[in-house]
A and B are shown apart, each in its own frame.
Chain A
Amino acid sequence: MMLLSLLLTPLTAAGLIAMTRRRALMELFHTLAGLATLAAGAALVAQVWNGRTISAVGDLFRVDTFSAFMVAMITFLGAVASLYSVGYLRAEFNGDHLPRSRLFFALFHLFIFTMLIAVTTDNLGVMWIATEGTTLATVFLVNLHQTRTSLEAAYKYLMISSVGIALAFIGTALVYYAGAAKAGEIAVNWSTLRAAATSLNPEVVRLAFVFIVIGYGTKAGFAPMHTWLPDAHSEAPAPISALMSGVLLNVGLYAMLRFKAVVDVAVGPEFAARLLIGIGLLSLVVATAFLVRPRNYKRMLAYSSVEHIGIVCLGLGFGGWGVFGALLHVFNHALAKSLLFILSGNILLKYHSAEIHEVRGLLRTSPWTGALFLAGTFALIGLPPFAPFVSKFIIFRAGLESQPWVAGTAVVLMVIVFGGMLASVNRMLYGAAPTELLRGDVSPGWLAPLAANLALLIALGLTLPPPLVEALQRVLKVLGA
């Protein structure tokens, strides 16, 4: 029941907004929907957190703790981004461009809806359909500003993601074939496959997983399939960038992990671990090469997502506590990255440029934005007392035990990124601001929801509350790690 209201809220909101003609009403529906989705999400998470699973509509939907983990992330960051969007769109479009605002608000909730379907269904085919749906829902959002560059980014995003996800379908069909030999048509359900995993044909499963990693990895931003990501994430309007980098990448990762849980049983954990360590290292290298000296701050944040998804892959590959750290890092990175992307919207509105060399004196012109941007950057590059420090520490602690060379290389790369990003942000924060800029943040009131991100980043950096640790361990159990 809770699950259905969670899914129907954003869908209904999208429909209502699409039919609305007045801006005030649109904003009202949008805000209410963001909060209502969060409330429904929280209620669902509360039901499942203790390890129960909930099913609905026959065996179509099934929510376990791993789904709940994703639902928590989607609805929480979705609510933060939706609150900020209202102020962002008002400032960006000065109250004009009503059709574009309508498109934005409606697609925003459709986007949330497709992500929620992807993480709550038990049917791997439906999960695939919903994941492709996330691309279709966001492609016009990437092109919202309708410039040449946003057009290019959106076209690339649509084509590359669609091909990637098509390859994931081959993987899904292969796994289904392996399972159907044992369990019949019901093998399209993850829970059935998981139960039958020991008896699946290992050769088929291995090939299937390669397709899954390429396919869903394209959505998750794994190098070398990441080429669309910096374009799309930097061209999209800030609240959407925040959700694409903070949440959507993790939906791709989620889908991959569902398959990994089956594959680990069918062919042993070594196979997936080696694949993920290779991809993790490659992603880190690719991202580091750009982050040594980034020119554009939105692209900097986008490449940083490639870096962090690489770190998460390494954690998954290291195994043991590394997997725990990886899950925690997924959440911590989402908090920090969505905070920074939302702030990047404020910087863009102030300076009308995404180039780092055109942004000077940010702390002077927009004290709140600047200070928060600095705090977010500290969190992202892994300084204590912020949460990502803890999760990175756990991952590399595990890595030094199982794969010291890999972990060592990764730490060196991270130090380079650390220097590159800090230097760039430093240039933006200080210096002489362009004289024509007025002092004061753009719509500072709309930044208030970011307090929640910041509070969580600090709280989780200072302590790991035992209920959270237990919950994450239940997620690990679902994944069989």
Chain B
Amino acid sequence: MRVDMSAEVLSKAVNVLAFLALGLAILLIIRSRLEGQVRAFGLQSFVLALLCTLIAVYSGSLELFGVGVALVAVKVVMIPRVLNRAVANVGLQRVAAPYIGTAPALMICGGLTVVAFYVMTPIAASNPLPTADAIPLAFAGVLIGFFIMVNRRRAVTQILGFLMLENGIFLFALLATYGVPFIVEIGVFLDVLVAVLIMEVFVYHIKDNFDSIDVGELGKLKE
């Protein structure tokens, strides 16, 4: 199923899509409603699936195509559904409360992107694959996901931060090596799915115990 596509075209397309994925991570910071944030994550996963399919076509890898399908099933369909269910069940608290406001948060994201380029450019330069140019963008996604986790008080947003971090790592592996072997990718999806289901249970537990899903309430355990 090898299709004629020059490395240059692929490289450009990959760059655009990786940039889009990063943009969606930043969109999550701007969005204040939880449903909007879940949608941003679903969209980002869909962009990654497109990227995955594109590389699958370019490299003629059937396995990678399978990874793309699994990605859509797990991260575009199942996980957003689980998260929407959680948002619906906890009711009311749909406004995501950050510790740092939107404007400074965006500046921090800019800074993190610079850091990502600083750390990953040498790695990208030494990598012969046509997809390698976008590696720093993927790593920026990882850092921004991490930032979302520490900046947000709502458990659901923290979970989304974790998922975006996970997406960044998936993209990173995809760009650097055309993905790790099939069995590993599938195992990772399974782990993430189970992790999200467990996190959902915890959202309910936190809600029941503290009557809020504000993880800032969790501060009992000290030295």
Contacts and interface: CB of A to CB of B under 8 A. Distances in A.
B177 A151 contact: no
B70 to A, nearest CB: 14
B177 A143 contact: no
Contacts of A146: 205
A153 B180 contact: no
B88 interface: no
Contacts of B209: 148, 151
A133 B188 CA distance: 10
A204 B149 CA distance: 27
A453 interface: no
A163 B172 contact: no
A365 interface: no
B187 A231 contact: no
A310 to B, nearest CB: 18
B220 A173 contact: no
A151 B187 contact: no
Main secondary structure of the interface of A (DSSP, over half): helix
Contacts of B215: 155
Contact of B205 (A143, A156, A170, A188): A143
Interface stretch (A121-129, A411-419, A443-451): A121-129
B188 A169 contact: yes
Contacts of A166: 142, 162, 165-166, 169
A136 B165 CA distance: 18
A156 B218 contact: yes
Interface stretch (A11-19, A25-33, A174-182, A457-465): A174-182
Interface in B164-223: 165-166, 169, 172-173, 176-177, 180-181, 183-184, 187-188, 190-191, 194-195, 198-199, 202, 205-206, 209-210, 215, 218-221, 223
B interface residue count range (under 10 / 10 to 19 / 20 to 34 / 35 or more)? 35 or more
A125 B158 CA distance: 25
Interface in A140-185: 140, 143, 146, 148-149, 151-156, 158-159, 162-163, 166, 169-170, 172-174, 176-177, 180, 185
A203 interface: yes
A290 interface: yes
A133 B191 contact: yes
Contacts of B173: 169-170, 173, 176
A407 interface: no
Main secondary structure of the interface of B (DSSP, over half): helix
A interface residue count range (under 10 / 10 to 19 / 20 to 34 / 35 or more)? 35 or more
A159 B194 CA distance: 13
A411 to B, nearest CB: 25
Nearest to A143: B205
Interface string A289-323: 01000010001000000000000000000000000
A173 B177 contact: yes
A261 B20 CA distance: 39
A151 B219 CA distance: 11
B119 A162 contact: no
Given A163-B149, A173-B173, A132 B202 contact: no
Contact of B218 (A155, A177, A180): A155
B165 A170 contact: no
Contacts of B202: 151, 154-155, 158
A469 interface: no
A125 B162 contact: no
A177 B177 contact: yes
Contacts of B155: 155
B156 to A, nearest CB: 12
A158 B195 contact: yes
A372 to B, nearest CB: 27
Given A123-B181, A156-B218, A177-B176, 18 more contacts: A123-B184, A125-B188, A129-B188, A136-B195, A136-B198, A146-B205, A151-B202, A152-B218, A154-B202, A155-B202, A155-B218, A158-B199, A166-B142, A170-B142, A173-B176, A173-B177, A203-B126, A295-B223
List the 10 closest A-B pairs by CB distance, nearest first: A125-B184, A129-B187, A173-B173, A152-B218, A177-B177, A177-B176, A132-B191, A231-B221, A155-B202, A149-B220
